[in-house]
Amino acid sequence: MGADNYKDRFVPASLSNVTFDEKIYGVPVENTAIAVIFYNKAIFEEYGLEPPTTWEELLEVAQVLTDNGVTAFSLANKTKWTSSMYYMYLVDRIAGPGAFMNAANRTGGSFTDPAFVQAGEMIQQLVEMGAFNEGFNGLDYDTGQGRMLIYAEEAAMEIMGSWEIGNFISENPDFYENNLGVLAFPAVEGGEGDPSNVVGTVGDNYYHISSTCEHPDEAFELLTYLIDDESVALRITSGRIPPVAGVAEMIEEPILQQVVQLVENAESVQLWYDQYLPPELGEAHKDIMQALFGLEITPEEAAQMHEDAIAEYYGE
Amino acid sequence: MATVARQDFARSTPNRRLRPTETTWTIILFLLPTLVLLGVFVIWPIVSSFQLSLYDWDGLSPTREFIGLENWTRLRSDNIFWKAFRNNFTLVTLSLAIQMPLGVGLAVLLEQGEKLFIFKIFKTVYFFPMLMSSVAIGILFKYVYDPVFGIINPALEAAGLSSWTRSWLGDTDVALFSVIAVVCWQYTPFYMILYLAALRGIPTDLRDAAFIDGAGESRYYWSIALPQIQGTIRTAIVLSLIGSLKYFDLIWVMTEGGPSNASELMATYMYKKAFPSFDMGYGSTIASAMFIIVMLLSLVLMVLTRRFETEV
């Protein structure tokens, strides 16, 4: 990676996931993806709503929508990681990225810290006020059951990774061009987290070469084709953000441009919990999210279950 | 003719009578290919999953740690596994209670209506669900059950039964039953065909004799046909029991055992542990436990229903 300054091709943050002992072990090929709020501008206009910048405002918006029979947030949560985005953002806004990192890495934090409980409470408040579509725990994101609500204008907002832009472009270009708006996750009043922080990943789908490979140089050359200028251009037209330096200048689409701005201004990027944690804990986290949103467990129980799972995993 | 042929055969090998040991070896020789295949693809995997259940292994790394019966003690106190076990039982009970009578009923109906052309169409139509792949059925019914865009909720609302609407797959109280309904929809035709074939196999003179003795249609089915096909019914029950205990497909496609394990089955739980969670050792433990449970229950059922064993 060091040769010919090849690594300068990429956004530095995209290499942080594969850098150990100052050596780079992978080529980031796919998109930069962060979770944002997508919203339907026409619905907001119809009810005279302003895009919320704080959690209080978001609750008011949700209330107005709910009172008018519009689902505030579309959620397909059979898939489970979809709901985790709300939780990750709330924890980050309440206590900053350190809360999760310290709990997950066992560096003096705990999943029973007040931030995690408060995030759970705020989510359940949203659920109880009817801000989500009915039966969300049985809907499948992968078969588009969440987006159907958006397209049918049954729901006004969705929190989802920015890859959703590609889905919007290919499935409903009309909606994409006329009504789609993008928002950063709002600030939480009194929270310690910087409201510019984002949840997601800068660069993903890393490609690696096995150390037993007989032709490492040729293999590496092949990998460079996966992210050469041509494939970068194609990815941008399909609504994705390749993790290459200077990508902001290459993008003209206003929506993608907005997402790039959010990434560039971000104080920190929190990787998805279920990918940061070891697979077993990632699965446990997703199950806990589904139960939390389904109001089957209290926020305190959710926090305790996270803590028990990780404590058991590390044999504490 | 037959006797002549046999004499010729005997004459052609006058002093070549096979000794008992030779016959045994011949039999073994001819069975060998099957035994090898069975050993490699059936018996060895079962033995090996029992062996894996004694290890802590993620399924990928070259090393694995022997931990004795630790996985088994963990299984004993694993609430989710026992919940899955109970769910499997619900599935067994409802499958038997719905699919068996419905299968017999449809078979009788088709046999009765056979003279009419229109029923021949029904026979094919009734069999359709069996012909579709489970994944296609699962995705289809995911849309049927969709609370907003589906068929069921809007239909109930149109019929003025708004209070009956549910989020069929998203509600922990009904998700399991929603999927079981689809399982029955898919498998009833299979038993229908099985029973129809058995009903057809009853000699017509039995039927004629019954009518001469003054039995009506219902009397015929109840007193003559049902006892005649009891062997088939027994086979069907055993098949359904085993199938329900190791069931996986539709649950996986429609709910993945969710929400919050409400529709978890032993097989879906095994898959979740062995693969997405990279806990192959524990997954193998669940698989082994399933094997023991299915084996024991089928044996018990076979013994209990032994008196119904008749060749049809």
User: CATH number of the domain at A3-29+203-267, please?
Assistant: 3.40.190.10
Residue matched to tokens 């058991």? A312
Cross-chain Cβ contact A78/B258 below 8 Å: yes
Facing residue for B255 by CB, picked from A78, A134, A280: A78
What is the spatial distance between Cα B221 and Cα B71, in angstroms, rounded to a whole number? 51
- The whole-angstrom distance between B175's CA and the closest CA on chain A is 8
> What are the distances in angstroms from CA A82 to CA A28, A163, A300?
23, 13, 21
Q: Does A312 touch chain B (CB under 8 A)?
A: no
CB contact residues (below 8 A), chain B span 159-188, against chain A: 166-172, 175
SS3 state of residue A187: strand
Nearest C-alpha in A relative to B273: A280
| Cross-chain residue pair B169–A139, CB shorter than 8 Å | yes
Name chain B contacts of A134, Cβ cutoff 8 Å: 147-148, 167, 170
Is residue A86 within 8 Å of A94, Cβ to Cβ?
Answer: no
What's the mean pLDDT in B46-65? 90
**CA distance linking residue B120 with residue B123, whole number of Å:** 5
Give A-chain residues touching B171 at CB under 8 angstroms. 135, 137-138
Closest CA to A168 of A150, A142, A143: A150
CB of A301 within 8 Å of a chain B CB? The answer is: no
Nearest to B272 among A78, A148, A283 (CB): A283
The count of other CB atoms within 10 Å of the CB of residue B80 is 15
Nearest to B267 by CA among B183, B155, B174: B183
Q: What pLDDT, on the 0 to 100 scale, is given for residue B90?
A: 95
Question: Per-residue confidence of chain A (316 residues) as pLDDT tens digits?
Answer: 555 678 888 887 788 778 888 888 888 888 788 999 999 999 999 999 999 999 999 999 999 999 999 999 999 999 999 999 999 999 999 999 999 999 999 998 999 999 999 999 999 999 999 999 988 999 999 988 899 999 999 999 999 999 999 899 999 999 999 999 999 999 999 999 999 999 998 877 888 888 888 998 899 889 888 888 888 888 888 888 888 888 888 888 889 889 988 988 888 889 999 999 998 899 999 999 999 999 999 999 999 999 999 998 988 7
Which amino acid appears at position A181 of this protein? G
Helices and strands, counts by H and E, chain B: 16, 2
Domain definitions of chain B by residue range = 70-132+176-308
- Does A315 reach chain B within 8 Å, measured CB to CB? no
Report the amino acid identity of residue A294.
G
> Cα(B58)–Cα(B273) distance, rounded to whole angstroms?
10
| Domain locations in chain A as residue ranges | 3-29+203-267, 33-199+270-311
Please say whether the beta carbons of A28 and A206 come within 8 A.
Answer: yes
Q: Do B167 and A134 touch (CB under 8 A)?
A: yes
Residue B37, token pair as written in the block: 């295949």
- Taking contacts as CB-CB distances below 8 angstroms, the residues of chain B near A291 are 259-260
Query: Which of A149, A280, A294 has its CB closest to that of B172?
Result: A294
- The answer to whether residue A149 neighbours chain B at the CB level (below 8 Å) is yes
User: Which of B145, B166, B259 lies closest to A137 in CB terms?
Assistant: B259
Subunit contact A143:B149, Cβ cutoff 8 A: no
Please provide the size of chain A in residues. 316
CB contact under 8 A, A139 and B256: no
Q: Do B167 and A283 touch (CB under 8 A)?
A: no
Whether B61 and chain A come into contact, CB under 8 Å, resolves to no
| B269 interaction partners in chain A (CB closer than 8 Å) | none
Asked if B277 lies within 8 A of A279 by C-beta distance, the reply is: yes
User: Which site among B139, B140, B260 would you substitute to test the A interface, given the most A Cβ atoms closer than 10 Å to its Cβ?
Assistant: B260
| A198-201 and A269-270 beta bridge pairing | parallel
**Residue found by looking up tokens 């995911």 in the block:** B142
Please tell me the predicted confidence (pLDDT) of residue B10. 47
Q: How many CB atoms lie within 10 A of CB A194?
A: 15
Tens of pLDDT, residue by residue over A158-187, are: 999 999 998 999 999 999 999 999 999 999
Selected residues 133-152 of chain B with any CB under 8 Å from a CB in chain A: 139, 142-143, 145-149
pLDDT for B15 equals 57
Does residue B6 register a pLDDT over 60? no
Summarize pLDDT for B220-247 with one digit per residue, the tens.
Answer: 898 889 988 988 999 999 999 999 999 9
The CA distance from A165 to A163, in Å, is 5
Top residue of B146, B173, B275, B282 to mutate, by most chain A CBs within 10 Å, is B146
On chain B, the residues whose CB falls within 8 A of the CB of A283 are 272, 276-277
Instruction: Report CB contact under 8 Å: B258, A137.
Output: yes
CATH topology of domain B70-132+176-308: MetI-like fold (1.10.3720)
Residues B72-124: tens digit of each pLDDT: 999 999 999 999 999 999 999 999 999 999 999 999 988 888 777 777 788 88
By three-state DSSP, how is residue A36 classified?
Answer: strand
Interchain proximity B139–A143, CB inside 8 Å: yes
Q: b/e per residue, A60-73, with b = 16+ CB within 10 A? A: ebbebbbeeebbbb
Give A-chain residues touching B255 at CB under 8 angstroms.
78, 138
Handedness of CA A175, A178, A179, A185 (dihedral sign): positive
Residue of B nearest to A137 (CA): B170
What tokens appear for B33 in the block?
Answer: 């290919």
Query: What's the CATH fold of domain A33-199+270-311?
Result: D-Maltodextrin-Binding Protein; domain 2 (3.40.190)
Tokens of B221: 């089915």
Q: CB B261 to CB A135 under 8 A? A: no
ipTM (interface predicted TM): 0.76
- What average pLDDT does chain B have? 88
Distance between CA atoms of residues A77 and B121, nearest Å: 41
Q: Which chain A residue has the Cα nearest residue B146?
A: A139
CB A1 within 8 A of CB A27: yes
Q: What is the DSSP string of A118-176?
A: HHHHHHHHHHHTT-BPTTGGG--TTTTHHHHHHHTTSEEEEEEETTHHHHHHHH-HHHH
Q: From the DSSP assignment, how many helices (H) and strands (E) are in chain A?
A: 16, 10
Please state, in angstroms and rounded to a whole number, the distance separating the CA atoms of residues B84 and B78.
10
Any CB–CB contact under 8 A between B276 and chain A? yes
SS (H, E, C) B68-136: CCHHHHHHHCCHHHHHHHHHHHHHHHHHHHHHHHHHHHHHHHHHHHHHCHHHHHHHHHHHHHHHCCHHH
pLDDT score at A1 = 55
A14 lies within 8 A of chain B by CB: no
